[in-house]
């Protein structure tokens, strides 16, 4: 298998903050309830004229500037998102043109909140098989565009953001240690946005343009399944929690991360999440949390990081990774 490594990372969140106190004025909720049930304090909201492709481009520009990276020879672009600017064309093709990348394949990947890990796995597979050399992977969502701000059960949770990484061939690297993927379509009706069909698993779906979720069911499924699947990944790859310096679960909700850590007997202090200031940004939560960890001086080259995404589908994906980024050339502001 050909060696593969993440060489650079960049992130972006929109300027506008939506705090719990702002939400108190919009729906029947309060700061204490939101903090107690989710751990979220505020989220970022894209401008009306700012879409997922714009968030992606800003995250990639952050990556290029920090690591002095030239992306002319990127040969594949993968964007994980549930909120593309259009059903088609893809976000990946929009950013390919905008970034002036000439000879690259471009695809969007649909795996909801597990999308970034699926995209990373895809990039690794392409490179390990010798088919590609330099893959740009982005997890980005503008969930505010599909959130009903009169529904207090969802509008308190979601926010907008993007995270980009460059995955490159590196013969000497053994960075990608192990992975685990899965899907349980029997729960497809628990988180969705209506499409051409209005029915799944014989369940009639709500006919609304907004994201719909049964928070309780998702909560139950995650706590029941994610720790077991993480254990399966360890078994398959002959690794254990002792090999994990930092755990980065999808930042859905702090009250969801706590029981996962409890069931795994893994310390919350070694767990990274991006939800406190950014909310649940779906495909962006994991790269945002990783970048926060890097910028706070927690995650260092040589550390082993376990990412685990889960969400609508219901799908899940994990990746155990030894991080070894290139040296940062220019620090940039992180909002």
Residues acting as catalytic residues: 113, 250, 280
Helices (H), the chain: 20-24, 31-38, 52-67, 91-99, 115-128, 215-237, 254-264, 275-278, 285-295
Q: In angstroms, give the least distance from the CB of 311 to ligand COA.
A: 4
Residue matched to tokens 């040589």: 302
CB nearer to ligand COA: pick between 128 and 223? 223
Asked if 39 contacts 77 with a C-beta cutoff of 8 angstroms, the reply is no
Using CB under 6 A, pick the residue from 19, 29, 125, 173 that binds ligand COA: 29
Q: In angstroms, give the least distance from the CB of 89 to ligand COA.
A: 26
Using the rule CB under 6 A, give the single segment among 139-147, 151-159, 198-206, 288-296 that binds ligand COA: 151-159
DSSP E strand boundaries for 65-204: 76-80, 105-109, 134-142, 160-169, 176-183, 191-192, 199-200, 203-204
Residue 34 sits at φ, ψ, to 5 deg, of -65, -45
Using CB under 6 A, pick the residue from 311, 316, 319, 321 that binds ligand COA: 311
Asked if 163 contacts 307 with a C-beta cutoff of 8 angstroms, the reply is no
| Residue 210 sits in the site that holds ligand COA (CB under 6 A) | no
Burial class (CB in 10 A: 0-12, 13-18, 19+), 177: middle
| Residue 295 sits in the site that holds ligand COA (CB under 6 A) | no
| Residue 256 sits in the site that holds ligand COA (CB under 6 A) | yes
Q: In angstroms, give the least distance from the CB of 220 to ligand COA.
A: 9
Using CB under 6 A, pick the residue from 17, 37, 133, 298 that binds ligand COA: 37
Q: In angstroms, give the least distance from the CB of 50 to ligand COA.
A: 22
Residues that bind ligand COA (CB under 6 A): 29, 33, 37-38, 113, 152-153, 156, 191, 213, 215-216, 218-219, 252-253, 256, 280, 311
């Amino acid at each position: 298998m050909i060696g593969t490594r993440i060489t650079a990372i960049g992130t972006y969140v929109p300027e506008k903050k939506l705090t719990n106190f702002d939400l108190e004025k919009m729906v029947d909720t309060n700061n204490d309830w939101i903090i107690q049930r989710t751990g979220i304090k505020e989220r970022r909201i894209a401008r009306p004229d700012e879409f997922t492709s714009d968030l992606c481009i800003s995250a990639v520009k952050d990556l290029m500037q920090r690591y002095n990276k030239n992306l002319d020879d990127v040969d594949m672009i993968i964007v994980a998102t549930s909120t593309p600017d259009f059903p088609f064309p893809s976000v990946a093709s929009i950013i390919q043109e905008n970034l002036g990348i000439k000879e690259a394949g471009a695809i969007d990947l649909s795996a909801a909140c597990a999308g970034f890990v699926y995209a990373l796995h895809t990039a690794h597979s392409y490179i390990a098989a010798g088919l590609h050399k330099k893959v740009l992977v982005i997890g980005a969502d503008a969930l505010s565009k599909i959130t009903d701000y009169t529904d207090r059960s969802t509008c308190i949770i979601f926010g907008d953001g993007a995270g980009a990484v460059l995955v490159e061939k590196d013969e000497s690297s053994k960075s990608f240690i192990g992975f685990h993927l899965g899907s349980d379509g029997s729960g497809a009706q628990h988180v969705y946005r209506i499409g051409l069909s209005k029915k799944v698993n014989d369940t009639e779906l709500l006919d609304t343009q907004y994201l719909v979720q049964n928070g309780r069911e998702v909560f139950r499924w995650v706590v029941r399944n994610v720790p077991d699947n993480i254990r399966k990944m360890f078994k398959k790859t002959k690794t254990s929690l002792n090999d994990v310096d930092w755990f980065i679960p999808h930042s859905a909700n702090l009250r969801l991360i706590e029981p996962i850590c409890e069931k795994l007997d893994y310390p919350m202090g070694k767990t990274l999440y991006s939800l406190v200031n950014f909310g649940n940004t779906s495909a962006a939560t994991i790269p945002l949390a990783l970048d926060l960890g890097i910028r706070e001086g927690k995650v260092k080259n040589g550390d082993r990081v376990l990412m685990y995404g889960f969400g609508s589908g219901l799908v899940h994906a994990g990746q155990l990774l030894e991080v070894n980024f290139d040296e940062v050339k220019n620090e940039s502001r992180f909002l």
